[in-house]
Chains A and B, each alone.
Chain A
Amino acid sequence: MYLTRQLRLLPSSSLVRHITSGNGTHYTTAAPPAAEHIEIPKRIERSPTDLLQALASTVGRDSTAPHYKYHDDPFLIPTSNVTKRTYTLSKEAGRKAANWIKEEHRELFMHQEAQPPIEKFAPSMVYTEESEVDTSSLQQLIAQGELTDAVLVYNLLEKKGIEVNDALKQSLLELVCFYNNQEPLPEEYIEERWFLQNSRRRERHGKTWKDGDLAEKLYAAIEPKTPQSYAALIRGMAKYLQCERAYALLQEANERQIQLDTNTYNAIIQIVSLLKDTADQRWQLCTVLLNQMAEQQLHPNLGTLNALLECISTFGNFKLARSSALKVLPEFKQLGVTPSLGTYYYLLIIFCRERAPVSHVIVDILNDIGGKQFKVEHPKDTYFFATAMDVCRNHLNDKALAKKVDELLHTGNNYDLIGDSFKESIYYRNYLALLCQTESIEDFMQTYDVLVPNIYIPEPGIMEEILRAIEINGAVEHVPRIWSDMVIFDHTHRESLLLYVLRIMVNNRPNAELPAQQQLPEQCAKVALDMYNKIEESAKRVRKVSFTGQMLGDILTLLVRSGSSFDKASEVFAYIDKQQHRIPGTPAESALSEYVEATVLNKAPSQALMALQYAVENNMETIALAKRIHEGFTLSEVHLAKLKSLVGESFLDK
């Protein structure tokens, strides 16, 4: 249903344009002059997904709808960061379970429904110690990147004494080096990858290379050593941070006059920062390596540029870092190497540091790349947007720049480079925080409406920033809206946020004369009551919030102000009165006096006296209250006697 809705909305013209785009010639309906030779364009070979891509590019992101991956059912649409993650990963877990059944009970899936058959649905080959294998199956496994099976088959072949040729050994060596003989996450599990990377980042420190493992045995088995075998082992070691040995191997290769390639040098340049300690030494080693490359007539590429900048970004001395970065860039410009987003990411972390003077390099970068489309060319390309927004917020605090970055992100397919869920949320966190500090509250709320909750859900910290912006602007009319968001985002167990919301509502008394604020006292009372109920409920839960006198006082004030919820207010006050020994602190005196005022309006003398008694018991200001009660009511004898017993006769003298 969702799809048909989308399809109907497709602008037909853009569809046509997309389908014909990429085609050099233009079709025109106007009749060409008779003399002109009609050239029939050659057929363009399309890949199986080209048409689909053209169609997909016509569907924009609908900020009012949840992401496509969530079940299209209002009951199952996640509304907080935790549930988003949970729902997505459970869906993926379902896929995994299905896969497991398929593997475990392969006998049930021997039939082929599709004709021509779809190999993916056939049970996969299982290799055991007894399987009949030959070199062709090994080759196939390597091509598929099936590490574990390839290693198993290789061992089987060795056991049976079947000769594996050197080319195949080399391929296997590359495979093993690339994955460090560890099975990678299957590429199918895209959601897991989407949520995984924030936890994986931690393990990128320290060596993970398996010394003396299969890779090195394979390397030893290849005789005589080829440049390829050197390159594979060097890159593997560099990738898994066995830096010393990788560098030693490079030197050995150089001594033996073995010609390596650019990418191998890139791998070494990437780990220069781990080989040397000081900035000067690192820079020196970099130049040495670059000179070696030049001697071997290797043309550096994007990888070289980014590896160099990565190394430079680790320099503690920011002056040297800046000057060397500015030397590297023109060099590669002259060589015709086009920078990728990763390059600009490194530039940002080189120039915009916390312990260095402010740099506006991002302005120049945006001038350079504004409006361009990017494709992923380097693993660090996905870091650009999150970092750029971070710079906009924390380094420059510049709203205009942030908007430019956001515009770039939404150019073409650049959104693909946002990275994963973690980086995406960092990006939006910084963006929203910056906007709510710098924009007027009305403008900010427009952006907020677009982004929240389907694209981004603010974390409690950002919620606090938003509340601060509301408080500064005195825009109490937005509070009910924000509160309902807080409820669905599951922020209601944060005491600081609750207090903040209450404070804003209490301090900014709605102006009943403005038509926009007429409903507000009622709404605020609803919010307060909702909060009261939420806190009461939370007592049963693990993460419970406990009442404080301040909080209850604020709730009481808000209930009193709405006019129609006096009963509820009395209920809350009865709670305060009953639990006064459990609740830390007392309500503000203004809250009590507003309550007493309301009892006068609602002609409830016994409630008023209860409030007075509470005030007396808690050593609060009582004279004014007593006077007010005395004036407001025509008290019965009993009440009058009680009043006197509470505060003495003082209220009688004017």
Chain B
Amino acid sequence: MLALRNTQKFNIRALLPAACKNVGLLSYSSSSQSKDDDGASSSDDEKQPKKQRKSAEKPKETAAQRLNRLLGSMQMQTTDQLADADFPRPGDANRRRREALKQDAATKDVITAAKNIASMLGTGENERKQTESELLAKLLGHSVEGGPDAPQGDDKSTPAVTAGTEKELNLSELIVGMKIDRRQQPQQTEQTRGEYVRRTLASRPKSRSGDHTSSQRPQRHIKREAETFSGSVNLYGGEPLGIFTKDSTKLLHSPDMLSTWSTLAERELKLQAAHPPANYFEQMIQWTAQGKVWRFPIDNEQDMHEEANVDFSEHIFLEQHLEGWCPNKGPIRHFMELVCVGLSKNPYVTAQEKKEHILWFRDYFEAKKDILKDLISKGSNESTKNVTA
């Protein structure tokens, strides 16, 4: 767009620092009527008064446009910079340098042209600077005059570019021309803000009506703040459900009717809270629970379920089982006493088994009674023979 306008304007733009440059550009557009109307059409409600007193309205409009454009171009700039920084491409640096040089040259041209004009018009040092500043300010579009004056300003500036001698541009002189803007801007922003509020107010009811069902939805995005503190929740102070509390006295505690299920559930629950042992004691606890180590306190009779109720005397004093069948003396008695001693020292068999073992001998000797009698009598005969012999 700028390229289509005359090059001088472009050059002037280039000479300015980033912030000013857009402002300058904008006031140019204010000079043409069509542009102005475009800007006005953006705010519908103000159209009527504007058409009546167009000239009065114009500076405000340009300022509004200016602001908008400034914002727009700032965004553009940042994205441009980002893109540059992100992807350094070969040859990029060179191109940038060349552009900068070109702009620099153009800037110098414009300034020198303005200086020349000024030196031609005025004689005194002050006068010259004044004119020069005005000219440049005109180029920037910061003149106090409204729309009708703008073409005039253009006329002035066009010849201004044709000649020139001086070198440096005084920044403060430029700022002289910008002062007016500062006066206007706050006014303008107020207006836009008012407009904004009005617009949002107008659009609110529409969006709200849809939101009523799921209330407070607009808050969602800003909710992470202390202001939305909803107060404490009274967990137990509410109205009870009233299903059980009506007559809670009648309720019976129902034990779990499934015993297997409840033990399994218990076990599962314990596993939920189980975690790898964190020290040796916990390791021991785990092993004890799994039955991999003896249980505390260490007891050498643990897990002896059958014998738990049998007194030790029944294990040790076994002669009682000899009563009634065993002869009081003789080899059988001797043999059986040895059996009893042996059994009483055996920890691996139960008392019942010991008794059964002894009784087996009883039956055995009973069955062999005749042979034994023969043998004993024969033996005693022989021994008496030996004695008599």
Contacts and interface: CB of A to CB of B under 8 A. Distances in A.
Interface of A: 2-3, 6, 48-49, 51-53, 55-56, 59, 61, 67-69, 88, 114-121, 142, 145, 170-171, 174-175, 177-179, 187-188, 190-191, 193-194, 227-228, 231-232, 235, 260-264, 287, 290-291, 293-294, 297-300, 326-331, 333-335, 347, 351, 355, 357-361, 363-365, 368, 375-379, 381-382, 396-397, 416-420, 549, 585-586, 618-621
A161 B199 CA distance: 88
Contacts of A235: 258, 261
B289 A381 contact: no
Given A55-B281, A586-B88, A178 B261 contact: yes
Contacts of B279: 3, 6, 56, 59, 68
B288 A330 contact: no
Contact of A619 (B91, B231, B251, B252): B91
Contact of A360 (B216, B232, B297): B232
A330 B239 contact: yes
A589 B175 CA distance: 35
A377 B269 contact: yes
Nearest to A623: B97
Contacts of A232: 258, 261
Contacts of A59: 278-279, 281
A231 B268 CA distance: 19
A96 to B, nearest CB: 15
B281 A120 contact: no
A392 B234 CA distance: 19
Contact of A142 (B260, B280, B303): B260
Contacts of A2: 280
A397 B253 CA distance: 43
A416 B273 contact: yes
Interface in B224-242: 224, 228-242
Contacts of B301: 116
B96 to A, nearest CB: 9
A577 B143 CA distance: 55
B235 A365 contact: yes
A359 B290 contact: no
Given A142-B260, A418-B275, A52 B235 contact: no
B347 to A, nearest CB: 9
Given A3-B280, A118-B294, A261-B254, 14 more contacts: A48-B288, A49-B285, A56-B282, A68-B280, A118-B291, A119-B291, A174-B261, A194-B276, A294-B251, A298-B251, A327-B241, A381-B273, A397-B224, A585-B88
Contacts of B267: 145, 187
Contact of B240 (A291, A334, A382, A416): A334
Contacts, number: 240
A142 B245 CA distance: 39
Contacts of B257: 227-228, 231, 260-261, 264
Closest 7 pairs (CB-CB, A-B): A56-B281, A48-B295, A376-B273, A619-B93, A174-B260, A331-B240, A326-B238
Contact of B294 (A88, A114, A365, A396): A114
Contacts of A379: 268-269, 272
Contacts of B240: 327, 330-331, 333-334
Contact of A118 (B91, B244, B250, B292): B292
Contact of A52 (B251, B281, B292): B281
Contacts of A360: 229-233
A49 B301 CA distance: 18
Contacts of B292: 118, 120-121
Nearest to A187: B271
Given A49-B285, A331-B243, A297 B271 contact: no
Given A120-B291, A298-B251, A290 B241 contact: yes
B381 interface: no
B271 to A, nearest CB: 6
Contacts of B296: 48-49, 51-52
A174 B263 CA distance: 10
Contacts of A115: 300
A632 B76 CA distance: 40
Contacts of B230: 357-360
B126 to A, nearest CB: 35
A549 B89 CA distance: 12
B243 A120 contact: no
B282 A331 contact: no
18 contacts: A88-B276, A118-B292, A119-B291, A174-B260, A177-B261, A235-B261, A262-B256, A290-B243, A291-B243, A294-B251, A297-B252, A299-B252, A329-B236, A335-B251, A376-B273, A382-B273, A417-B273, A549-B88
A264 B88 CA distance: 69
A576 to B, nearest CB: 14
B183 interface: no
B207 to A, nearest CB: 17
Nearest to A330: B240
B275 A68 contact: no
A56 B271 CA distance: 19
A49 B238 CA distance: 43
A294 B242 CA distance: 10
B275 A416 contact: yes
Contact of A364 (B232, B258, B280): B232
A326 B269 contact: no
Given A235-B258, A329-B236, A329-B238, A334 B90 contact: no
B253 A299 contact: yes
A145 B292 CA distance: 18
B286 interface: yes
Interface string B298-311: 00111110000000
Contacts of B291: 118-120
A365 B236 CA distance: 11
A330 B236 contact: yes
Contacts of B236: 329-330, 333
Contacts of A358: 223-224, 228-230
Contacts of B201: none
Contacts of A377: 269
A193 B271 contact: yes
B162 interface: no
A178 B264 contact: yes
Given A48-B288, A49-B289, A232-B258, A145 B264 contact: yes
A262 B233 contact: no
Contacts of B283: 68
A364 B288 contact: no
A334 B246 CA distance: 11
A504 to B, nearest CB: 19
A330 B244 contact: no
A217 B277 CA distance: 41
